Amino acid sequence: VSTQSTWGRTDLMTDAESDPPSLIVLPQDAAVELAERSEHVAEIEEFDEAAKAPESALVPDDSPQTPRSWWKHFFHTMGPGMVVMLADTDAGCLITAAQTGAAMGFSIIPVQLILIPALYMAQELTVRLGVLTRQGHGELIRDHFGKVWAWISVVPLIVACIGALITEMSGVIGIGEMYGLQPWVCCLLLGLFLMLIVLTSSYSTVEKIALVIGAFELVYIVTMFYSPAPAKEFWSSVVSFPVQNNYYRFLVAANIGAVVMPWMIFYQQSAVVDKGLQPQDLKFERIDTLVGSFITQLIMCAVIITTGSSMWSSSLPQDGSTYLPPECRDGGNETLMVDVGDLSVGDFSCALVARMGPGAGRTLYSLGLAGGSIIGSIVVTLTAAWGLGEVTGYKRSLSSRPKNAPWFFVVYGSCILIGAIVPLAAGSQALIKISLVVQVVNAMLLPMVLGFLWMLALRALPEDHRLKGWYKWVSGAVFAVVSGMGVIFGILGLIDGA
pLDDT in tens, 258-273: 888 889 999 999 999 9
| Whole-number Cα distances in Å, 250 to 28, 67, 445, 448 | 63, 47, 15, 20
Question: What per-residue confidence (pLDDT) applies to 62?
Answer: 44
Q: Is 149 exposed, middle or buried (0-12, 13-18, 19+ CB in 10 A)?
A: middle
More confident residue, 315 or 350: 350
Top mean pLDDT of 88-97, 129-138, 234-243, 430-439 is at 129-138
- Which of the two residues, 493 and 120, has the higher pLDDT score? 120
Helix-helix angle 431-459:109-133, to 10 degrees: 50
In this predicted model, what pLDDT tens digit does every residue of 80-90 receive, in sequence order?
999 999 999 88
CA 135/CA 188 separation, integer angstroms: 34
Per cent of the chain over pLDDT 70 is: 79
Residue 276 DSSP SS3: coil
pTM: 0.80
For residues 210 and 309, give the distance between their C-alpha atoms in angstroms, rounded to a whole number: 30
Stretch 446-468: mean pLDDT, rounded? 92
Residues 334-347, mean pLDDT to the nearest whole number = 68
Angle at which helices 137-145 and 147-178 cross, to 10°: 160
In single-letter form, the type of residue at position 404 comes to N
Q: What is the dihedral of CA 44, 50, 54, 57, to 10 degrees?
A: -170
| Residues present in the chain in total | 498
Q: Which residues pair with 337 in a beta bridge?
A: 323
pLDDT at 23: 46
Q: What pLDDT score was predicted for residue 15?
A: 44
Least confident residue range of 40-49, 111-120, 192-201, 333-342: 40-49
User: What is the pLDDT, as a whole number, of residue 266?
Assistant: 92
| Cβ atoms of 221 and 93 closer than 8 Å | no
**Are the C-beta atoms of residues 190 and 376 closer than 8 Å to each other?**
no
What pLDDT does residue 247 have? 82
Backbone torsion region of residue 79, taken as left when φ is above 0, otherwise alpha when ψ lies between -120 and 50, otherwise beta: left
How do residues 188-239 score in pLDDT, each as one tens digit? 999 999 999 888 768 888 889 999 999 999 999 888 887 777 788 888 889 8
Mean pLDDT confidence for 295-324? 81
Confirm if 273 and 103 have CB atoms less than 8 A apart: no
Mean pLDDT computed over every residue of the chain? 81
d(CA 124, CA 356): 39
Q: What is the predicted pLDDT for the residue at 333?
A: 57
Do 111 and 252 contact (CB within 8 A), yes or no? Answer: yes
pLDDT at 9: 37
Residue closest to 78 by CA, chosen among 70, 68, 89: 70
Please state which of the ranges 95-99, 134-138, 212-216, 488-492 shows the lowest mean pLDDT.
Answer: 488-492
> CB–CB of 367/359 below 8 Å?
no
CA distance 450 to 438: 18
| Residues β-bridged to residue 324 | 336
**pLDDT on residue 335:** 60
pLDDT per residue over 32-85, tens digit each? 444 444 444 444 444 444 444 444 333 434 455 677 788 888 888 888 999 999
More confident residue, 456 or 329: 456
348-397 pLDDT, tens per residue?
887 777 777 777 888 888 899 999 999 999 999 999 999 998 888 888 87
Q: Identify the CA nearest to 373 among candidates 99, 177, 87.
A: 87
The answer to whether 137 and 270 are in contact (CB under 8 A) is yes
Give the three-class secondary structure for 273. Answer: helix
Pair 280, 55: CB distance under 8 Å: no
Show the beta-strand stretches assigned E in 321-444.
321-324, 336-339
| C-alpha to C-alpha distance for 403 and 257, rounded to whole angstroms | 37
Among the residue ranges 92-96, 290-294, 423-427, the one predicted with the least confidence is 423-427
Is-contact 361 353, C-beta < 8 A?
Answer: yes
Ramachandran quadrant class, 258 (left: phi over 0; alpha: psi -120 to 50; beta: rest): alpha
Q: 475-479: long-range contacts (C-beta < 8 A, 24 or more apart)?
A: 475/121, 475/125, 478/117, 478/118, 478/121, 479/118, 479/121, 479/122, 479/446, 479/450, 479/451, 479/453, 479/454
